[in-house]
Structure 1
Amino acid sequence: MATVIVTLDVQGTTAVTAPAGTTLGGLSVSISGNPVPAQVVTTAPWSVSFANVPAGTYSASVQGIDANGKPLGASVSSAQFTVEPDVSIDIPNVVSVAVQVQ
């Protein structure tokens, strides 16, 4: 399991056609195939953290949403990234140190 931090580089805005009264609710960030729910970020710094992401290959997606959670515009996806599996190593339970002074 790993913590995945997704940071967005937000530059400028693009107009989208929406019904009157529509307001931006934020950016919904999700990780493909991840059982952790999407998170919404509404202000800078544009970053979210996903805890306990299991080993696997994923991509992050970002979608503008309105105040009701409905999508606005097109979503954007990252390149694929890999969360490596945890490794198990054996370490000694007890270590003794002997010192001789001659």
Structure 2
Amino acid sequence: MATDATSKKRYYRKNVDFFKLVEKIKLWPSRSGTLHGIKSITIRGSIAEITTHCNETFQIYNSRHSRAARCLRNKLFFQACTTCKIPAWKLEKYSSTFVNQNYGSHL
């Protein structure tokens, strides 16, 4: 039964609000290609403050065309952060997620 849950494909809309997508996925790609787990996200208008599990805190802007948005949509990352300790099931779920223009959840 566990193989059915891991092999299930998830679809999200391409043009959903970026903050909602980050809040749902709970992963953040750094510029070096490392994937971090998000501990908390606080949204204040068009700026959000993210705290990762490795205690990094930074601000992001609500942009669908940003580097991070493209990396999340296209699943561009080289490795998972060893300090954040992202579980294997979460990486498997992330890799089975597809972003589509016309089909999927509106979040």
Relative to the length of structure 2, the TM-score reads 0.24
More relative contact order, 1 or 2 (CA 8 Å, 6+ apart): 2
Which one has the largest radius of gyration?
A: 1
> More helix by proportion, 1 or 2?
2
Higher strand share: 1
